[in-house]
Amino acid sequence: MRAILDVVFIILNLYTWVIIANVIFSWLYAFNVVNSSNQFIAMIGQTLYNLTEPLLRPIRRFLPSMGGLDLSPIVLLLGIFLIERVIGLYVYPYVF
């Protein structure tokens, strides 16, 4: 059982880094730091979008519009941290 929980922790940690990479990439894209017509850059952006959008879209529906500011990645990261904390404090210590 501990091995399964360790895998869950690793997946949540990796997804946290994917969300952070998506946020940084969106900033770079918005401020024209990266060349948007480059096929490799477009592929990275599409991959990050496909990995994060299924979880960010429902959060965006409930958050009020803040103009150009998107707070949904912060809400998702807080949710991931909460899940990690609950598993770490309440499930993991009692697994034999």
Percent of the chain at pLDDT above 90?
Answer: 79
Give the residue extent of every domain in the chain: 2-94
**pLDDT tens digit sequence for 46-76:** 999 999 999 999 999 999 888 888 999 999 9
- Cβ neighbour number for residue 78 with a 10 Å cutoff: 10
pTM score: 0.91
Neighbour-count burial for 2-16, b at 16+ CB within 10 Å, e otherwise: eeeeeeeeeeeeebe
Under 8 Å between Cβ of 56 and 75: no
